[in-house]
């Protein structure tokens, strides 16, 4: 049997067909209007990404609670949507599918999420979370959370289901449930963030209860033929957090629940392994496979593949791996060795929306722009030492990519001349303007 390549289609358990093995991974956009409605900028952005050739587009966080945003500018689905909100969602979905006629069926999935305790204090000073455990970061960016009541948990499960139904009804071809990166469902899974003593905390089965209930509610709402994906941490990479051994068990439960595509990622705001930050060490692979792709891992290629390969021993559902991929060789190797069934691309597509088409046409690799960026002024290092400087630089680079998404959405092309520091200030200023308009 011939090994799959990025050009091959993928048939999901529900019967849906993805035309190739490249996915545009979920990335926060910050482009909704102050009411949380999808805008023409989002329509333009997803049209360009659709034209770019990826077999699957996954949107950035669409939040199910307007008081628990990942950042200002998130799209929000909470309760019945007015016609303007529905029209915006339809236009965005239609743009994301527009290359389907030449791409054997365009797919755009809505990622549905709740930020929980990782809600910025400017959005909500006391967000809801599994337990009253604050995010362990300096700077007072996140407030002290309030533990959810059981009634609130049950309401949130219903909201996830409702959002998935809205996605289906407005033209999205699937949904991805975000249970990674330290957001609410990931918080429930973590023994560090979830100290509950009721049926929603304690044992792994209890900590996974909310995620499994969300999956069941979404499936009941959208039916058996509508694709459901889940984004799951391979591990939190924190002592006492959600461990890889737990992730393997939860993945098995998700497969039994009928999940169609499992994305393997890792980390949280406290330990941002999911951020492709120049100079940051890659996550250490599980012992069983640490030697199989160590060189590429440390070279910032495919750094969650080893976790997926270990999971593959007990799973049959398709796996999507995102993180560090730039070269066609590494992507095909991940598919060939069973480390992934689909490859997720993020940062390269913030600058070059046609990256997937270029790879499918034979290009060797996509640019790693962060290695080319002029970083922060050297004098800033005096403010807090090398470690703090690297952290600030890492977040500034992240905001540089936010700025590229913003530029493409508004003008149709990237703005690579902006510095990371200027991008950080610009995006933060836009967030403040958005929050003020929301209050007004």
- Cα–Cα dist 234/306, whole Å: 10
Q: What is the pLDDT of residue 236?
A: 65
- Element of type H or E holding 12: none
Question: For residue 54, what pLDDT is reported?
Answer: 96
pLDDT at 156: 98
Q: Which domains does the chain have, with CATH numbers?
A: 10-367 (3.20.20.70), 373-440 (no CATH)
pLDDT at res. 333: 92
Task: Give the pLDDT of residue 287.
Answer: 47
Predicted pLDDT of residue 387: 57
**pLDDT, one tens digit for every residue, the chain (440 residues):** 688 999 999 999 999 999 999 999 999 999 999 999 999 999 999 999 999 999 999 999 999 999 999 999 999 999 999 999 999 999 999 999 998 744 456 899 999 999 999 999 999 999 999 999 998 876 688 899 999 999 999 999 999 999 999 999 999 999 999 999 899 999 999 999 999 999 999 999 999 999 999 999 999 999 999 999 999 988 767 677 788 899 999 999 999 999 999 999 876 555 554 444 333 333 444 544 444 444 443 344 666 788 888 888 889 999 999 888 999 999 999 999 888 999 999 999 999 999 999 999 999 999 888 777 766 565 555 555 555 566 677 788 899 999 999 999 999 999 999 998 899 999 999 999 999 999 87
| 115: enclosing H helix or E strand | none
Distance (Å, rounded) from C-alpha 206 to C-alpha 157? 15
Q: Residue 286's pLDDT is what? A: 52
Q: How far apart are CA 75 and CA 31, in angstroms?
A: 8
Query: Given this model, what pLDDT does residue 395 score?
Result: 80
DSSP assignment string, 320-380 = EEESS--BHHHHHHHHHTTS-SEEEE-THHHH-TTHHHHHHTT--B---GGGG---S-GGG
- Which residues, including other chains, have CB under 8 Å from residue 28's CB and lie 6 or more apart? 60, 61, 70, 71, 74, 402
How many other CB atoms are found less than 10 A from the CB of residue 280? 14
């Amino acid at each position: 049997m011939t090994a799959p390549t990025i050009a091959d289609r993928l048939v999901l358990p529900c019967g849906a067909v993805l035309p190739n093995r490249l996915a545009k991974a979920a990335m926060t956009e910050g482009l909704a209007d102050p009411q949380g409605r999808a805008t023409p900028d989002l329509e333009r952005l997803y049209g360009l990404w659709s034209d770019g050739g990826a077999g699957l587009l996954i949107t950035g966080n669409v939040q199910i609670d307007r008081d628990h945003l990942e950042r200002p500018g998130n799209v929000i689905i909470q309760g019945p949507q007015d016609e303007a909100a529905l029209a915006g969602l339809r236009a965005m979905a239609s743009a994301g599918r527009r290359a389907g006629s030449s791409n054997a069926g365009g797919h755009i999935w809505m990622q549905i999420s709740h930020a929980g305790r990782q809600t910025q204090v400017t959005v909500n000073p006391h967000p809801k979370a599994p337990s009253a455990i604050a995010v362990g970061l300096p700077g007072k960016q996140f407030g002290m959370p309030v533990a959810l009541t059981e009634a609130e948990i049950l309401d949130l499960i219903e909201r996830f289901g409702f959002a998935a139904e809205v996605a289906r009804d407005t033209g999205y071809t699937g949904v991805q449930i975000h249970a990674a990166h330290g957001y609410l469902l990931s918080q429930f899974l973590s023994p560090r963030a979830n100290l509950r003593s009721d049926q929603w905390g304690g044992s792994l089965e209890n900590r996974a209860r909310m995620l499994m209930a969300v999956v069941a509610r979404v499936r009941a709402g959208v039916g058996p033929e509508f694709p459901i994906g889940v984004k799951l941490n391979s591990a939190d990479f924190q002592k006492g957090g959600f461990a890889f051994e737990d992730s393997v068990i939860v993945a098995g439960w998700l497969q039994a629940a009928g999940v169609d595509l499992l994305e393997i990622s890792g980390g949280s705001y406290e330990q941002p392994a999911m951020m492709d930050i120049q100079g940051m060490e890659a996550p250490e692979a599980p012992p069983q496979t640490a030697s199989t792709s160590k060189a590429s891992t440390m070279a910032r290629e495919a750094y969650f593949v080893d976790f997926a390969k270990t999971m593959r021993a007990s799973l049959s559902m398709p796996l999507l791996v995102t993180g560090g991929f730039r070269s066609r060789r590494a992507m095909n190797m991940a598919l060939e060795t069973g480390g992934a069934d689909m490859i997720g691309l993020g940062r390269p597509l913030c600058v070059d929306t046609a990256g997937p088409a270029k790879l499918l046409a034979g290009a060797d690799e996509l640019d790693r722009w962060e290695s080319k960026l002029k970083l922060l002024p050297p004098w800033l290092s005096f403010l807090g030492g090398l470690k703090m400087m690297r952290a600030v630089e890492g977040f500034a680079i992240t905001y540089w990519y936010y700025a590229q998404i913003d530029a493409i959405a508004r003008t149709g092309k990237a703005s690579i001349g902006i510095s990371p520091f200027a991008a950080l200030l610009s995006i933060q200023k836009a967030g403040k303007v958005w929050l003020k308009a929301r209050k007004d």
